Amino acid sequence: MKKADPSSTQAGQTDDANAKRPFFRWGNPILWGIVATVVVTLGGAWLAILPTCNEGVFGPYDCEPKYLAFLGASPNEVGDTLAGFAGAFAFIWLIATVWLQSQELAEQRREIQAQREATEGMAVAQGDQVELLRAQGDIFLDEQRQRDEDRARRLAEELLKGLVVDLRDASAVAHWARELQPDPRLRNQKKAFHHIRLTGDDFDWSADPSQIIRETAKNVEKLIPSFRDMSKIKNRSHMPAEFPKIQEKIRRIEVLKQRLSDDQKEYISNAHIDLLSEKLTELLSLDVWIEDPQK
């Protein structure tokens, strides 16, 4: 699309503004130019009909209108007379033209000022719009972050619940019997054994998942020193099939932790999942397992 020339547009606006003004108004230079021209013309006509006389001893004589003297004058006199009237007319319309141009320039200045104010207003409006869009963008990003945190929180809760279920099932499979030291004061006493599990016998699996995972991690940490003297261990345990799933859930929770809100991150940290992963890995490396995992 062809862009309009600003100067032509401005001139067109000026012409439109002039066209809307009434012709018969005090500030119209053309009207005053016509009035002055008519006045000069009427003045010249009035002067033309005035009589001109020859002066004699006994007073004026041979009086006749000046226009007759003008008609009978020499070419130089006629030229001088017409030049005088033409100069008067030229001076009148020169003033009218300068006056008209000054009005047009004033109108153009007003239009330029109006355009400048409109441009400044548009700039302010655009600045406000940019700020509004920036604020809307911040709100959108904040809402998107909150939605992502909510999705991550729900997924983390499901992973924690699943981790608790896997720990409970693994605890039901993994168990050992450790021979207790005999009491030297007693004779003919039978061997006594202490059953070792991932969790205690009276473990509360209905507690909060974070508490269950934390207590399991601490229990496994205390459990590992029991295997230093394998001569006291009566049996090896089947390796629970849940261990790989437990390690995978721990890995996913650690990755998901970066997307959680600060309070959820603190909740995950209080569960000591990293300690559980470390101690389970250490427990798996010990020679306390039967080769085939318990399915």
CB neighbours of residue 190 within 10 Å: 7
Cβ pair 159, 267 in contact under 8 A: no
Distance of CA 255 to the CA centre of its chain: 30
Asked whether 148 and 174 are in contact (CB, 8 A), the reply is no
Task: Name the least confident of 14-23, 25-34, 205-214, 266-275.
Answer: 14-23
The verdict on 100 and 171 lying in the same domain is no
- Choose one of 108, 135, 168: the last residue of a domain: 108
pLDDT value of residue 1? 43
**What confidence score (pLDDT) does residue 20 get?**
67
Give the pLDDT of residue 175: 82
* Token pair in block for residue 295: 């399915």
Same-domain check for residues 171 and 267: yes
State the total domains in the chain. Answer: 2
Q: Answer whether residue 132 is part of any domain.
A: no
149 with 287, same domain: the answer is yes
3-state secondary structure of 293: strand
Round to whole Å and give the CA distance between 88 and 85.
Answer: 5
In a domain, 128, yes or no: no
pTM of the model: 0.54
For tokens 């009005």, the residue is: 103
Helix (H) or strand (E) holding 163: helix 75-173
pLDDT given at position 55: 72
Residue 123 lies in a domain: no
CA-based nearest residue to 241, from 282, 292, 190: 292
* Helix or strand holding residue 291 (H, E): strand 289-294
Residues 86, 156, single domain; the answer is: no
Same-domain check for residues 202 and 153: yes
Q: For the segment 29-70, what is each residue's pLDDT rounded down to a tens digit?
A: 888 899 999 998 898 888 888 877 777 666 666 777 777 777
CA of residue 160 relative to chain centroid, distance: 38
Q: Which of 59, 81, 108 is the last residue of a domain?
A: 108
- Domain with 287, as residue range(s), is 143-182+192-294
The answer, yes or no, to whether residue 230 has pLDDT greater than 50, is yes
- The more confidently predicted of residues 24 and 97 is 97
Residues 287, 172, single domain; the answer is yes
Whose tokens are 């005088």? That residue is: 84
